[in-house]
Amino acid sequence: MHKNIAVIILAAGKGERMKSSLPKVMHNICGQPMLAYVLSLTRTLKPKKTVIVLGHQYEAIQNKLPAEITAVRQRKLLGTADAVREALFKLKGFKGTVLVLYADTPLLKKESVDKLLEYHTENKLDATLLTARMNKPKGYGRIVRDKYSSISAIVEEKDADDFEKEIKEINTGIICFNKSSLEAALKKVRPDNRKKEYYLTDTIKILYKNGKLVDGVKINDIHEAIGVNSRLELARANLVMQQRINEKFMRSGVTIADTYSTFISYGTRIGRDTLIYPFTVIERDVRIGKRCFIGPFAHLREGTRVADDVTVGNFTETTRARIGAKTLIKHFSYIGDAAVGARVNIGAGTVTANFDGRSKHTTVIKDRALIGSDTVLVAPVKVGRGALTGAGSVIIKNIPDNKKAVGVPARILKGKR
Ligand code: UD1
Ligand code: MG
């Protein structure tokens, strides 16, 4: 493992190009904020220290960070070099490799960072860049190489001349530095560019001119380099992440009938031999068991727990719901704030009316109950084990085990079910 590294995460940018009141790094990709991806990648690297630079909506983000991460505030967004300078104040006692990660690059993989760090340490370099070849490099900083093909500078798109714009090798933004080389170079960075900002990328030219050792490692999967600056790039990054998630499930034994219309959040758990039909949306914090049938057109929302051998069929929405084994919810239903037992049959059009205008209430449906089509369960309410509701009934009272209830509002009938 990498022994002596500290990570600096840059996340202070306003994200002008997002045209949003939400800070850029808090926009979601597959159900979690962009920032969460870089944080989990950082955790796997086991750095000595992690410093994140925040600016826009500092408090809101800082409150959500894990305790081991130090946050610094960049008051004026003077550029990426200025942001790194701020972070270095929190790394006073540290000596070693400083890895800079951009929080707007959520698709970056651990393997690529490992490769970068290894190359950097083995060759005792002053700075090592992660680069990528792109056919359409628009918007990215270009890697300039000298006649010996050594990296001599990074030129930002805005400052590039026509010749430099043709360069296909780009800066992903991920750079690792020897700490003292970084500090020395930062002192010489000037805001002499179109944006009048202090560019971290200028340190490369400075190091090169001072005879320091700079090199790059190329990544093969250019998707990893996608920097999210606009909603278009957000959508592109989302698509790539979604395919990664879906492919991971398929490799682990889940059938996904159409991966392009199946939206599964990061962190979802799904058991083997479950089959997911098209146009299904699975939001964050959902678990699904083995051998289930989900969709088409199913919407499983936060806090849904589906046991084994369950069917959640078309036009069904679930939220904060536990569904027991072998239960069938086959057609257009809403099951929210509910605990549904095993082997329950929920008829078409069943609705748990969980909200009374002020607060949410729970519906409990015990094992083997039979809920007739078009039943409305007005929560809080309980349907007993083996009980039955008639088609179109509105349930406002608890139904004892093995009883039958019909009507609007439903009356409980005499005798057994
Ligand atoms: C940057 C790189 C560019 C690279 C691209 C890759 C610079 C100058 N340019 O451009 O070479 O190809 O990323 O995606 O670094 N930030 C701060 N404080 C600031 C400014 C930015 O913390 O004052 C943060 C942003 O939140 C973001 C990151 O730094 O996470 C990069 O800034 P951004 O404005 O997105 O730079 P790009 O134009 O994408
Ligand atoms: Mg960017």
pLDDT of 1 over the 70 cut? no
Contacts 24+ apart (CB under 8 A), 265-274: 265/30, 265/31, 265/32, 266/29, 266/30, 266/31, 266/32, 266/36, 266/241, 267/31, 267/32, 271/308
Q: Above pLDDT 70, what percent of the chain?
A: 100
Ligand number nearest CA of 139 is 1
198 lines ligand 1 (CB under 6 A): no
Residue 157: which domain range?
Answer: 5-225
Q: 417 or 225: which carries more pLDDT confidence?
A: 225
Each residue of 108-163: pLDDT tens digit? Answer: 999 999 999 999 999 999 999 999 999 999 999 999 999 999 999 999 999 999 99
Which ligand 1 atom is the nearest neighbour of the CA of 198?
A: 8
Q: Are 22 and 55 contained in the same domain?
A: yes
Residue 238 counted as domain residue: no
Q: Among 163, 194, 225, give the residue marking a domain's end.
A: 225
Which ligand 1 atom is the nearest neighbour of the CA of 199?
A: 8
Residue 234 counted as domain residue: no
CA of 347 to the centre of ligand 2 (A): 50
CA of 74 to the centre of ligand 1 (A): 14
pLDDT averaged over every residue in the chain: 96
Which ligand 1 atom is the nearest neighbour of the CA of 76?
A: 23
Q: Residue 237 is encoded by which pair of tokens? A: 């990054």
**Lowest mean pLDDT: which of 54-58, 287-291, 293-297, 371-375?**
54-58
From 39, 58, 102, give the residue whose CB has the most ligand 1 atoms within 8 Å, as the site to mutate: 102
350 lines ligand 1 (CB under 6 A): no
Which ligand 1 atom is the nearest neighbour of the CA of 79?
A: 23
What is the pTM for the complete model shown?
0.94
**Quick one: residue 3, left, alpha or beta (phi over 0 = left, psi -120 to 50 = alpha)?**
alpha
Euclidean distance between CA atoms 389 and 410, whole angstroms:
8
Each residue of 251-279: pLDDT tens digit? Answer: 999 999 999 999 999 999 999 999 999 99
pLDDT of 44 over the 70 cut? yes
Contacts of 295 (CB under 8 A, 6+ apart): 262, 276, 277, 278, 279, 280, 312, 313, 314
Residue 326, domain CATH: 2.160.10.10
Q: DSSP letter string over 78-122? A: --HHHHHHHHHGGGTT--SEEEEEETT-TT--HHHHHHHHHHHHH
CA of 44 to the centre of ligand 2 (A): 23
Q: Are 52 and 142 contained in the same domain?
A: yes
What residue owns the CA closest to ligand 1's atom 8? 199
Residue 328 counted as domain residue: yes
Q: What are phi and psi for residue 218, nearest 5 degrees? A: -90, 140
**CA-wise closest residue to 393 among 364, 413, 369, 373:** 373
- The neighbouring-strand residues paired with 57 are none
CA of 102 to the centre of ligand 1 (A): 7
Residue 260 counted as domain residue: yes
pLDDT of 107 over the 80 cut? yes
Euclidean distance between CA atoms 297 and 314, whole angstroms:
5
**CA-wise closest residue to 274 among 299, 257, 291, 258:** 291
Q: Are 219 and 278 contained in the same domain?
A: no
Q: Among 193, 225, 257, give the residue marking a domain's end.
A: 225
Average pLDDT of the residues in 44-72? 94
CA of 103 to the centre of ligand 2 (A): 8
Residue 235 counted as domain residue: no
Q: Are 177 and 43 contained in the same domain?
A: yes
Burial class (CB in 10 A: 0-12, 13-18, 19+), 78: middle
Residue 26 counted as domain residue: yes
What per-residue confidence (pLDDT) applies to 3?
Answer: 78
Amino acid present at 196: K
pLDDT of 220 over the 90 cut? no
Q: Are 304 and 401 contained in the same domain?
A: yes
Q: Which residues are catalytic?
A: 331
The total of structural domains in the chain comes to 2
Q: Are 391 and 291 contained in the same domain?
A: yes
Q: Which residue has the tokens 């020395």?
A: 184
Euclidean distance between CA atoms 292 and 323, whole angstroms:
11
pLDDT of 56 over the 90 cut? no
Each residue of 322-381: pLDDT tens digit? Answer: 999 999 999 999 999 999 999 999 999 999 999 999 999 999 999 999 999 999 999 999
CB 78 within 8 A of CB 40: no
Q: Quick check: helix, strand or coil at residue 5? A: strand
352 lines ligand 1 (CB under 6 A): no
Euclidean distance between CA atoms 383 and 402, whole angstroms:
9
Residue 374 counted as domain residue: yes
Residue 108 counted as domain residue: yes
11 lines ligand 1 (CB under 6 A): yes
Q: Are 97 and 29 contained in the same domain?
A: yes
Euclidean distance between CA atoms 136 and 95, whole angstroms:
38
Q: Are 255 and 217 contained in the same domain?
A: no
317 lines ligand 1 (CB under 6 A): no
Provide the 10 A C-beta neighbour count for residue 213: 16
Q: Are 282 and 319 contained in the same domain?
A: yes
Q: DSSP letter string over 304-339? A: EEE-TT-EEEET-EEEEEEE-TT-EEEES-EEEEEE
pLDDT of 201 over the 80 cut? yes
Ligand number nearest CA of 158 is 1
Q: Are 209 and 321 contained in the same domain?
A: no
Q: Are 9 and 114 contained in the same domain?
A: yes
Residue 32, domain CATH: 3.90.550.10
Q: Are 144 and 71 contained in the same domain?
A: yes
